[in-house]
Amino acid sequence: MARADTLARARTLDRPALAYVVRFPTADGVRDMDLTWAELARDTDWATARLREHGLAAGQRALLTASGFEGFWGHAVIGALRALKVTYGIAEAMGWDHRRTAVFHRELTPHTVIGLSAETLEGLAGSADIGEMFRPTPLVLARPAAVPLLRGVGVSACVISAVGPALALECPERSGAHVNAAEWRLGEWDGQLSVAAGEGRTSLLPETPLGLAGRVVTGRCACGSEDPRVLLAEANQSS
C-alpha cells in the first residue's frame, strides 16, 4: 500500500520539461541541445508512422541495437515499438556486445532488426555468416556504415541514422532516409550536410554544419512523404 501511495504522490509532482541533453558531433566539435518530453513525444509519433509504413504490426518481434547515449532517438523508436505492440529486445550496438545480438536474433527470430552497426556485423562475422543470418529477416534498418556490408551479402537493408540531433529513417522505397520536416531543416553545402531546428523546437539550433558527407533530396518521395531525404555517402559506398 505504501508503494501505491508513493506512486500516487509521485504522479502529482511537477515533471521537468527536459528529457535529454543530446550531444552530437558537428563540423566544429561537439554540441549540446535540449530535448523536452513534448518533443520526444512528437519524435515518437513520427517514428511510429515510419515503422508502420514498413509493415510493423502487433504481435511481431523486434531487436533494437543501440547505445545508452543514443537515447534521444532510441527512446523514440522504443516508444514506437510499444505503440505498435511489437515485442522487442535490446542489445548494445558496440562491437563487444555482438553475441547478445546473435542470441536475441536466434531466440526472437525478429521481424525487424533496428540500428544494426558495422561494429556488430564485424563481431558477428567471426562466428556466423551475416548473409545467412539476416537475409531471412524481413526488415533490417542498419546504420550507414553497415548498409554496404549487408547489401554486399544480399541483405536489402534500409538506412537508420542520427543526423546531428535528428533521426533519419529510410522508407520502403529505399531512396534516401527521411527526416521529419516538421521539426528540422536540412541543408547541404559542398557535399556536407547541415541541420537547423524547426520553429517548434524548444532548444534553438541555427544552421549547423555536421561534417557529414551526403546529399539532401527534396520533393515528394514515391512513398507519398514530403519529408526531405538524406543520401549519406557512407551508406552508398560499395563494400
Select from 34, 92, 173, 234 the one that contacts Zn ion (CB under 5 A): 173
Part of the chain binding Zn ion (CB under 5 A), chosen from 84-92, 101-109, 172-180, 181-189: 172-180
* 230 scored as a contact of Zn ion (CB under 5 A): no
Shortest Cβ 156–Zn ion spacing (Å): 15
* 141 scored as a contact of Zn ion (CB under 5 A): no
* 217 scored as a contact of Zn ion (CB under 5 A): no
For the record, the C-alpha cell of 101 comes out as: 545480438
Part of the chain binding Zn ion (CB under 5 A), chosen from 2-10, 100-108, 125-133, 165-173: 165-173
Closest C-alpha to 225, from 38, 37, 54: 54
Measured between its terminal Cα atoms, the distance across the chain in Å is: 59
For the record, the C-alpha cell of 88 comes out as: 522487442
Select from 49, 217, 223, 233 the one that contacts Zn ion (CB under 5 A): 223
Nearest to Zn ion of 108, 223 (CB atom): 223
Select from 86, 159, 171, 230 the one that contacts Zn ion (CB under 5 A): 171
Nearest to Zn ion of 175, 192 (CB atom): 175
Shortest Cβ 172–Zn ion spacing (Å): 7
For the record, the C-alpha cell of 47 comes out as: 517514428
* 181 scored as a contact of Zn ion (CB under 5 A): no
If residue 73 lies in a helix (H) or strand (E), which one and from where to where? helix 71-83
Shortest Cβ 81–Zn ion spacing (Å): 20
| Contact yes or no for 179/227 (Cβ under 8 A) | yes
Q: Print the binding letters for residues 57-96 with Zn ion: x by CB under 5 A, - otherwise.
A: ----------------------------------------
* 53 scored as a contact of Zn ion (CB under 5 A): no
Distance CA 22, CA 31 (A): 8
Closest C-alpha to 139, from 187, 165, 171: 171
| Contact yes or no for 230/163 (Cβ under 8 A) | yes
For CA atoms 87, 36, 50, 208, give the dihedral sign: negative
Beta bridge partners of 169: 160, 178
| Contact yes or no for 110/137 (Cβ under 8 A) | yes
Considering CB under 5 A, how many residues would be counted as binding Zn ion?
5
Residue ranges in contact with Zn ion by CB under 5 A: 171, 173, 221, 223, 225
